[in-house]
Structure 1
Amino acid sequence: MSQLGNLLESLSTGKIELIDLTTSLSAQTPVLRLPEPFVNLIDFSLEQVSAYNAPGPLWKHHNIHTGEHIGTHLDAPIHWFTGKDGRDVAQIPPERLLGPAVVLDVSSESAQNPNFLLEIAHVTAWEEAHGPIPQNAWLLLRTGWDRFAQDQEQFLNADQNGPHTPGFSAECAQWLAEHTPISGVGVETVGIDAGSAGGMEPPFPAHHYLLGHDKYGVTSLQNLDKLPPTGAVIVVAPLPIVGGTGSPSRVFALVAHND
């Protein structure tokens, strides 16, 4: 049997499990809220065009209204000024959208401290335990934040001092961008930066460094608790929007079971 045939058989028998990492997309999906004077993207909505009636007697269909960076979505380099001369969504090579999943579990730390920041030492400790980060891997930050995925207030966790959500320190973001072979990072929060990132130097360092080095980000992931620290494969599937700075995406993981 061919390698692809073996894959299909393993999927059908459950030897390989397909896990959906995507947050469902609706008008209730929590989204980023920027303070004035900045302008926010529109929320997701459906506009009914026909529903088995005069405008379309045999069919039902909608127009989709949404910002690029809504729900589970991919950030392309041109989303940030440091990557403005880089790739748009349609230009990202497909081979960069499929790769090994590296899962760092900091859910306990994030439960105790919503402002938790991943440091270089956390990543090197993971490597000591599991081996070097593979080429074209996606580093997935498991914080447990997906439990708030359908609650706008808890998901953003903002007060008068701004949002409080976990993420990457500036030093870690720079190191990941410049010294690791990753294709990108994935998070369970609304954006790839921590809630406190606006006050860092540089501001929003995950965007600054990663997108500036042709590495990508995926947000609002689910079910990272179902993935092992290493061994899974992730598939990120954005719409190939010409000129797009980002795109809502379906994200899957393939996990092998030996029993």
Structure 2
Amino acid sequence: MRLVSLSHVHDPATTNVYPGDPPFELETVATIEQDGYYLRLVRQGEHTGTHWGAPGHFNPGQPLADELDLADLHLRAVKLDVREKCVRDPDYAVTIADVEAWERTHGRIPDESMVVIWTGWDAKWGTAEFTNAGADGAPHHPGFAVETARWLIDTGRVGHRGGTGTDAFSPDVGADATYTVSHLIYQRHRISLEILANLEALPETGAHILCGGQINRAGSGSPALIYGLLP
């Protein structure tokens, strides 16, 4: 088995921040020359850059970061390449038909999987195109259609412990201010992986994902090193 990184490097000069979230800042607080060691203070939201979210991020009473099981952060993964459709429509919502077409080639998605969509947004990281803000300041990026999220849950494909992943800001279509898909996915022990990188290296099937990051008490999630484990 080998590892591939699915995380962006955090850099205040390039890290795209979701509208309204706190800015990402690094402050040097000790240097080798003056203090004998090098240390920086990090200021960021729990969902800055590549990260995973816990169910309690959107739903009160659902598990938070310190209430998840270790197995919730290690899941088999499948990848749907929807880049061509997203080039034509930045607000594209992945459909049940898209998933069924994928399954005709690769077989049924195993229960409790991490279903990752590769929209092409990872290539826009560090530019204004990543947020792709409209006239009202709202981001425009692809995501899952609401009915697709419900179907993935109801059929067991993400089930009780599984989730969705994306290289964009969230599993919701960016223009959807109701966050309906997030409310659906972020329940039980399901997680969401967001702002993934290097999805070219993740195969369509056969891989697992492993989520790192820090576990904050009552955390909504964590900026993370997210790895693809390839057989």
Compute the TM-score of the two structures, normalised by the length of structure 1. Answer: 0.82
Name the CA distance, whole Å, in 1 between partners of 2:33 and 2:203: 49
Paired AA for residue 190 in structure 1: F
| 2:42 counterpart residue number | 64
Paired AA for residue 206 in structure 2: G
What's the CA shift string for 1:80-131, capped at 9, x where partnerless?
1xx2111111221111211211101101111111111101121122223212
| 2:169 counterpart residue number | 190
SS at match of 2:8: coil
For residue 135 of structure 1, report the CA deviation from its aligned partner. Answer: 3.1
SS at match of 1:159: coil
Identify which of 24, 28, 50 aligns with 1:48. Answer: 28
For residue 239 of structure 1, report the CA deviation from its aligned partner. Answer: 1.3
Runs of 4+ displaced beyond 3 Å: none
| 1:210 counterpart residue number | 185
For residue 41 of structure 1, report the CA deviation from its aligned partner. Answer: 2.7
Question: Given the alignment of the two structures, is residue 141 of structure 1 paired with residue 120 of structure 2, yes or no?
Answer: no
Question: Given the alignment of the two structures, is residue 18 of structure 1 paired with residue 8 of structure 2, yes or no?
Answer: no
- Unmatched tracts of structure 1, length 5 or more: 1-15, 34-39
Whichever of the two has the greater Rg, that structure is 1
SS at match of 1:48: strand
> Is 1:89–1:238's contact at 8 Å kept on the other side of the alignment?
no
Identify which of 118, 142, 148 aligns with 1:172. Answer: 148
Name the CA distance, whole Å, in 1 between partners of 2:81 and 2:61: 34
For residue 248 of structure 1, report the CA deviation from its aligned partner. Answer: 0.2
Q: Which range moved further: 154-163 or 136-145?
A: 154-163
Q: Which range moved further: 103-112 or 121-130?
A: 121-130
Name the CA distance, whole Å, in 2 between partners of 1:75 and 1:176: 18
SS at match of 1:150: coil
SS at match of 1:59: coil
> Is 1:99–1:233's contact at 8 Å kept on the other side of the alignment?
yes
Compute the TM-score of the two structures, normalised by the length of structure 2. Answer: 0.92
Q: How does 1:106-185 map to 2 (within 5 A)?
A: 106-151=82-127, 153-160=128-135, 162-182=138-158, 183-185=162-164
Identity of aligned residues (%): 31
For residue 71 of structure 1, report the CA deviation from its aligned partner. Answer: 0.2
SS at match of 1:238: coil
For residue 53 of structure 1, report the CA deviation from its aligned partner. Answer: 4.1
SS at match of 1:26: coil
